[in-house]
Amino acid sequence: MTILDIISVPDPVLRRKARKVTDFGKDFQLLVTNMIETMRDAPGVGLAAPQVAISERLVVIEYADDEDDDNDETLETPAAEKKLYVLVNPEIVEKSEEMVLGVEGCLSVPDLVGEVDRHEKITVKALNRHGHPIKIKADGWMARIFQHEMDHLDGILYTDRTDNVWKPRDDEEIPLD
């Protein structure tokens, strides 16, 4: 496994519309594995192939639904396990009208965060890493992460969706893709 270099703005790959994945062979499987390791090493909650200079429609996401919740160490219930998603050629097929404003960061836009309006709920159709169809319903932060990562596949950065960008305080924790 290899930790890949994460590119940052103004690299032109981040602004390209990524091409569809058609080959799910050995090289593609290695790319998926390397992207998962790179995302975890960063650390981030998601990573799109264009962020590692590969212009393909592939995202990896790892997140627990209650990751934002405070965990009381005195409780005996364990923290929710993170779930790993590998989405190939993803498309949003349903989205709620309700929009929610939230703060986002990005591994390819270092040292900045911004407030972005996203759909509260979405349904995504994609292929898994082996080319099999999957359908995922996401809401809240999961929906936000999916939308953020999928934007990368169309050359869109979160900074394109907001005028409110700032450098976070040292104590401000923001999930990064």
Say if residue 169 is exposed, middle or buried (CB neighbours under 10 Å; 0-12, 13-18, 19+): exposed
Residue listed under structure tokens 């975890």: 40
State how far the Cα of 129 lies from the Cα of 139, in Å rounded to an integer.
Answer: 22
- Is position 7 within any domain? no
Per-residue confidence at 64, pLDDT binned at 50, 70, 90? confident
- The CATH number given to whatever domain includes residue 27 is 3.90.45.10
Active-site residue, 98 included: no
- Is position 176 within any domain? no
pLDDT at 46 over 80: yes
Least confident interval from 26-30, 62-66, 77-81:
77-81
How far is residue 22 CA from its own chain's centroid? 21
- Is position 173 within any domain? no
- Is position 174 within any domain? no
State how far the Cα of 88 lies from the Cα of 72, in Å rounded to an integer.
Answer: 36
- Is position 21 within any domain? yes
State how far the Cα of 2 lies from the Cα of 61, in Å rounded to an integer.
Answer: 18
Instruction: Give the number of other Cβ atoms within 10 Å of residue 143's Cβ.
Output: 24
Percent of the chain with pLDDT over 70: 90
Q: Report the pLDDT value the prediction gives residue 78, as an integer from 0 to 100.
A: 54
Q: Please give the tally of structural domains in the chain.
A: 1
| Cis ω before 50 (30° cut-off from 0) | no
- Is position 152 within any domain? yes
- Is position 4 within any domain? no
Overall residue count recorded for the chain in this entry: 177
- Is position 2 within any domain? no
State how far the Cα of 139 lies from the Cα of 132, in Å rounded to an integer.
Answer: 23
Where in the sequence is the domain holding 104, given as residue range(s)? 12-69+76-166
Active-site pick, 73, 98, 149, 173: 149
Per-residue confidence at 3, pLDDT binned at 50, 70, 90? very high
Mean pLDDT of 61-83: 63
Per-residue confidence at 41, pLDDT binned at 50, 70, 90? very high
